[in-house]
Amino acid sequence: MPKTDNLQGSLEILILKVLRRGPNNGYAIATSIEQASDDVLEVEEGSLYPALHRLTEKGLLEAEWKMSESGRRARFYKLTAKGRKRLETEEARWHSIHAAVAKVLRTV
């Protein structure tokens, strides 16, 4: 059983999901999420970076400094094997909770 104290917000799943496509920096992650959600979800920088560091802390992400497309040094985050596995379980869980909530909303 994964050892997590409490459920962090959905932001963490979204970060993991975005990084599934490949390593990226914080700013790109934020814009990816915003674009993918048709700007419904807005990523606060105040949540994004703490979340990135938290995930790195837990060993779900790895970080290193690289050159970005714009030619500046940026910190790139990469999914670890553990992170990949976590993404799968969290995704499954999310779907089941989502389905359950939806069902309750429909029937009650």
Contact set with another protein (CB under 8 A): 1-5, 25-27, 30, 45-46, 49-50, 53-54, 56-57, 59, 68, 70, 72-75
Q: Which two tokens stand for residue 50?
A: 């703490």
- The residue among 69 and 107 lying less far from another protein, judged by its C-beta, is 69
Distance of CA 45 to the CA centre of its chain: 13
- The residue among 46 and 106 lying less far from another protein, judged by its C-beta, is 46
> What is the spatial distance between Cα 14 and Cα 38, in angstroms, rounded to a whole number?
14
Min. distance of Cβ 71 from another protein in angstroms? Answer: 11
**Contacts of 19 by beta carbon, 8 Å cutoff, 6+ apart:** 29, 61, 77, 78, 79, 83
- The residue among 41 and 106 lying less far from another protein, judged by its C-beta, is 41
Q: Which two tokens stand for residue 48?
A: 């994004």
- The residue among 73 and 103 lying less far from another protein, judged by its C-beta, is 73
> What is the spatial distance between Cα 96 and Cα 18, in angstroms, rounded to a whole number?
20
Min. distance of Cβ 107 from another protein in angstroms? Answer: 24
Min. distance of Cβ 102 from another protein in angstroms? Answer: 21
